[in-house]
Chains A and B, each alone.
Chain A
Amino acid sequence: MERFRRIIQLLSAFFANSRLFVTPSNPIYRGPLKHVCFPGLNCYSCPASPWACPLGALQNVLSNFKANLSAGKFNIGFYIIGSLGIIGSLIGRMPCGWFCPFGLLQDLLFKVRLPKLEFWRPLSFGRYVALFGLVIILPMFWLDRFGFGQTWFCKYICPAGTLEAGLPLLAMVPELRSMVGTLFFSKLTILLLFIVWSMVTLRPFCRAICPLGLIFGFFNRFSWLRLKFNRDTCVDCYACELVCPTGVYFATGKDDINSTKCIRCFRCYSLCPGGAVTIEFSSIMKGRYEGIEGSDCNQEQRQA
C-alpha cells in the first residue's frame, strides 16, 4: 500500500505541475484548467501549474467580499467551498496523504538520515489560527481604505508559494529580482524552517499550519470513506501509532481514528496485525453502510 501511495503521490505531483513548456515571456499558464482548483497545496503562480490553488482563490474571493458586496455581487466562494466539500465528503483528508505535492515533499525530506523529533501536539492548534485567522477573518475584515483585503496566508506564510512560484519566477524572470525585499526573505526563512523541520519530524506543515488540510479534515468523520477501529480485535501492539505520519493516537484513546489530523495514508490499516482497523464506505446513492472486513455495519446488514 505504501509503495502504491508513493506512486500516486509522484503522479499527482506531476499532474499538478504538468505544464512542461514554460517560457520567461509567458511564465503563467492561462488556459481553461485555471478555472479548476487542485485538491492540494499547489501555488497558482507556479509556472508549471495549470490549476488554481483553492486556498489562494478562497482568500482572493474573501478579500474582495466587501468590494463585491458594494457592487451588488454576493460572492463568498460557493464554487471553491463546494468543490472542496465534494472532495471532502467523499474521501475526507485523503488528498493530503495521496495528492498534495507539498505533502510528498515533506514525506521525502523525512527520509534524510537525521535524529528524529516528536511533534509537540499543542502546535496543531496553529491550523485553526491559520484557517480562521489568516484565510478567513483577516482577508475579509482587515481592509484598506478602498475596501480590499489581503491574501494573508499566501502573502506572509505559504512556503509552497515561495518554493513553487517565488523561486522559479525569480530564476526565470530577471526583472523580478530587483523587487525582492524583506517579505521575500521572511518567506524564504519560513520555507527553510519547514524544510529543516520536515527532515526531523513527519509532516510538520500539515500538522502545525496547513489550513487546507484542516478543511478536508473536518470531513473525516462524515465522509463516504472512513476508517473504523475495533477495540475488541486490537492486539495492543501500537504499531498504528508508531507508523502514523500525523500522530493520530487512536489505539491509546487519545484521538478518534477519524480525527481532523488523519491524512488517510492507510498505514495503520496495512500494518495492523489484528485487523482492528478497517475501511468503511457509506453508499452515497443508497444511503447505507458497506464496510471492508467485518465492521459492525456489515454485521448488522448480514443479520438483517
Chain B
Amino acid sequence: MKSKIPRFIFYFFCLLTLLGIILGEPQGVFKKAVALCLSCIGIG
C-alpha cells in the first residue's frame, strides 16, 4: 500500500491541474500575472 501513495498523489494532482485547465484557470493566472501589481511590490 505504501508504494502506491506517490502514484495516487501524482495522478490526483494531474487531475486537479486538468480540472483547472478545463475551468479556464490559466487565463485567470495570466490576467493577474501580466498586470503590474503595485501593492504586491509595495509601491501602491
CA distance A223 to B43 in the complex (A): 39
The winner among B6, B7, B25, B30 for most chain A CB atoms within 10 A is: B6
Given contacts A43-B41, A77-B25, A224-B10, contact A169 B16 (CB under 8 A): no
Given B4, B9, B26, B43, which contacts A35 in the complex, CB threshold below 8 Å? Answer: B26
Shortest CB–CB separation between residue B9 and chain A, in angstroms? 4
Q: How large is the interface on B (under 10, 10 to 19, 20 to 34, 35 or more residues)?
A: 35 or more
Q: Is A120 an interface residue (CB 8 A)?
A: no
CA distance A90 to B5 in the complex (A): 12
Interface SS, B side: helix
Task: Report the number of A-B residue pairs with Cβ-Cβ less than 8 Å.
Answer: 161
B residues near A77, Cβ cutoff 8 Å? 20, 25
Whether A78 and B19, one on each chain, are in contact in the complex, defined by CB atoms closer than 8 angstroms, is yes
Given A79, A165, A223, which contacts B41 in the complex, CB threshold below 8 Å? Answer: A165
Whether B43 and A61, one on each chain, are in contact in the complex, defined by CB atoms closer than 8 angstroms, is no
Whether A169 and B41, one on each chain, are in contact in the complex, defined by CB atoms closer than 8 angstroms, is yes
Q: Is A122 an interface residue (CB 8 A)?
A: no
Whether A151 and B36, one on each chain, are in contact in the complex, defined by CB atoms closer than 8 angstroms, is no
CA distance A42 to B15 in the complex (A): 26
Q: Is A179 an interface residue (CB 8 A)?
A: yes
A residues near B19, Cβ cutoff 8 Å? 78-79, 82
Shortest CB–CB separation between residue A150 and chain B, in angstroms? 7
B residues near A74, Cβ cutoff 8 Å? 23
Q: Which residues of B contact A (CB under 8 A)?
A: 3-7, 9-10, 12-21, 23, 25-30, 32-44
A-B contact pairs, 28 of them (CB 8 A): A28-B34, A29-B34, A34-B30, A34-B34, A35-B29, A51-B33, A53-B33, A56-B40, A57-B32, A61-B28, A75-B25, A77-B25, A84-B13, A85-B12, A86-B13, A86-B14, A154-B40, A158-B40, A176-B43, A183-B39, A183-B42, A187-B41, A223-B6, A282-B3, A282-B7, A285-B7, A287-B4, A288-B3
Ranked 9 nearest A-B pairs via Cβ: A79-B20, A85-B13, A82-B17, A82-B16, A78-B20, A79-B25, A187-B42, A166-B41, A154-B40
